[in-house]
Amino acid sequence: MRRKFIAGNWKMHNGPAATKEFLNKFAAELKASPETGKNIESGAEEIAFFVPAVSLLTAVQESSGMPVIIGAENCHWELKGAFTGETSVPMITEIGATHTLVGHSERRHIFRETDEELNKKMHTAVDGTLIAVLCVGETLEEREAGKAFDVIKRQFGEGLKGFDAATAAEKIIIAYEPVWAIGTGKTASVDDAEEVCRFIRGLAKETFGAETAEKLIILYGGSVKPENTAGIMAQPDIDGVLVGGASLKPEVFIEIVKNAI
Ligand code: PGA
């Protein structure tokens, strides 16, 4: 049985003060939901928050003793150097964060990050002991042109170049986020989401073999909210969700966590 992975992606929201306030409120929500605590303890479910770089330290400190994972939203592929404004993997691990997103669609489309750069980030993150969540997803234009599967195949293949099966199974998570469903209120239908996630598991099987494909955690993201979580999570190839807007309120996000199991 693959574990469920329920993650918030805060994007450019929540500085240190708001992070502290959020996590204190979320701790109270968790306390009020002992069922969730049991699911986490048994390893059936993981909860993660991907937070802005300036809030990582506060998030790690404030969540100490709480069963939540703290991750970065982005990292650089070099370990150090003249890269003004960037955050390195050693900086992220020094703070105590354990995960990072790589290639979120906003990084690909607004900041023009390429598959080649994202592959370098994946390797630096994993070599630096982080678990890396590679985000893939097609634009509306690509979907309408019938190219969705080609795009996913390219992003998966290029992003994971050079990884072996054991590393892929243990250190990598894939998030399928159709660009047209992010922040738009349009969720992919559960059938469409499952179809692509099944396709991704198939790619994993071709690339790394059946055992790794079975272990690989695959998330869906794009306008996930409490009301659509259970339907998405009922799909056999979807193991979790990556939540943007609906992860910003503790009382909303806890409902997603509860509906995911
Ligand atoms: P959304 O964002 O839930 O606000 O659509 C998801 C994401 O970008 O990770």
Residue 232 pLDDT: 97
| Contacting residues for 82 by C-beta, under 8 A, at least 6 apart | none
* Dist CA 58 CA 16 (whole Å): 6
CB-based burial label for 53 (10 Å; 0-12, 13-18, 19+): middle
- Known catalytic membership, residue 123: no
pLDDT < 50: residue spans in the chain: none
* Ligand 1 centroid, distance to 258 Cα (angstroms): 19
Q: Are 16 and 58 in contact, with CB atoms under 8 Å apart?
A: yes
How much is the pTM? 0.97
First to last CA, the chain: 13
Does residue 243 have its Cβ closer than 6 Å to ligand 1? yes
Number of domains in the chain: 1
Q: Which domain holds residue 227?
A: 4-259
Instruction: Please say whether the beta carbons of 238 and 232 come within 8 A.
Output: yes
Question: Which residue from 154, 187, 167, 75 is spatially nearest to 126, judged by alpha carbons?
Answer: 167
User: Ligand 1: which atom is nearest the Cα of residue 223?
Assistant: 5
pLDDT of residue 188: 84
Residue 132, pLDDT score: 98
Ligand 1, atom 2: nearest CA belongs to which residue? 244
SS3 content of the chain, % helix, strand, coil (to 5): 50, 15, 35
CATH code of residue 125 = 3.20.20.70
| Per-residue pLDDT at 237 | 98
Predicted local distance difference test score (pLDDT) of residue 97: 98
Catalytic residue status for 177: yes
- Which residue in 104, 113, 194, 255 is the catalytic one? 104
Is residue 138 exposed (0-12), middle (13-18) or buried (19+ Cβ within 10 Å)?
buried
Q: What is the pLDDT of residue 255?
A: 97
Instruction: Give yes or no for residue 137 CB within 6 A of ligand 1.
Output: no
